[in-house]
Each structure stands twice: as C-alpha cells, then as structure tokens.
C-alpha cells in the first residue's frame, strides 16, 4: 500500500522519463556519494584485558576492525576483521555499543562499535599491515594508545556516554 492509498491523496502518474531521471539520480548518488561503513570491537578476554592493534600505516594502538564489505553484515565483518587482525574468535554474543559518524574518513562514513568477549586462537605475526597486537590490562594500556581508542573503551564499558562522532 502506498502513502497515497493510505491518505487518499491524488498522486499524478509518473511519466516514463520521470522514472528514468529518478533512477539516474539514485545511480549518481551511489557513484558520487557512496556511504561507507566500518566496524570496530572492544574485545575482552577472560581476564578482562582488551585487544589492541598497531597498524603500520597509522600512529598508536587502536581497536581492531575495518570496513564492511559488499553483501556482508556488520557482525560478519566484525568476525572476519577480528580473525584477520588478531587471530581472534568471539566467545559470546556481540553487544552494540554505538553507531558513530566518522567525518575524519569521509563525510559519509560511519563506524559501528561492538563489545565482545574473544580469545586468540592462533598467533598473529607482524606483517605489512599489523606491526603488533595483543591483549592489554585495562589499567595498563600501551602509552601510545590513541585518545579516541581510550575514549571508546570507556564508552563500551559504560564509564562514559557514547559520543556521536568517531
């Protein structure tokens, strides 16, 4: 049922060219202004240590995660990124912490943050992407842990309100 059918409004029929123009607008919007979506995790082990990664191309330690690929759910992306970046598997359900706008990446980027329990099932050697990674006590994070990472850990653990921005 359409809005017009519900409200009883008279809506003129669209000419074929109008439908074509609308389709063109949608395609142009996707090509010129694609939205991007990423996932990150505050991954805690059974000792309540948090897993952090240090990328080769970014300064400081940060939360594991990455981009959601086409035809992939956010949770599937989270599982894939945890495995790729740390050899981690989740040991319980992921809890949604927040949905953040990330203007530092692009004007149409968003990041979904989850809190998960995880364990490392295989070692993660350093390579071209990950310089180092591991579990760290919450009260002894590496000195070069980014301020944003520290803030998001606090948000995930309920010590502060989630921000609207990544």
The H or E element that residue 62 is part of is strand 61-62
DSSP H stretches of helix in 8-164: 16-32, 74-86, 147-156
The residue with greater pLDDT, 129 or 14, is 129
What pLDDT band is residue 2 in, cutting at 50, 70 and 90? very low
What pLDDT band is residue 104 in, cutting at 50, 70 and 90? confident
State residue 22's pLDDT score: 61
Do 65 and 155 meet the contact criterion of CB atoms below 8 Å apart? no
- Classify residue 57 by its DSSP letter: S
- Classify residue 161 by its DSSP letter: P
Query: For residues 21 and 8, what is the distance between their CA atoms, to the nearest angstrom?
Result: 26
Q: Which CATH class is domain 35-156?
A: alpha beta
Look up the pTM and report it: 0.79
Q: What residue segments make up the domains of the chain, in order of their start?
A: 35-156
- pLDDT tens digit string along 133-148? 999 999 999 999 999 9
């Amino acid at each position: 049922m359409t809005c017009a059918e519900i409200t009883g409004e008279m809506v003129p029929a669209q000419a074929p060219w109008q439908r074509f123009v609308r389709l063109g607008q949608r395609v142009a919007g996707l090509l010129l202004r694609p939205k991007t979506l990423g996932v990150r995790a505050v991954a805690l082990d059974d000792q309540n240590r948090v897993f952090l990664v240090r990328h080769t191309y970014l300064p400081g330690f940060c939360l594991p995660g990455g981009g959601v690929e086409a035809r992939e759910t956010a949770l599937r992306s989270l599982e894939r990124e945890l495995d790729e970046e740390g050899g981690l598997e989740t040991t319980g359900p992921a809890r949604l912490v927040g949905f953040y706008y990330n203007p530092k990446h692009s004007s149409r980027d968003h990041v979904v943050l989850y809190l998960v329990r995880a364990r490392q099932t295989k070692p993660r050697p350093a390579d071209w992407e990950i310089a180092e990674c591991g579990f760290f006590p919450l009260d002894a994070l590496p000195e070069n842990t980014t301020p944003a990472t520290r803030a998001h850990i606090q948000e995930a653990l309920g010590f502060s309100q989630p921000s609207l921005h990544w």
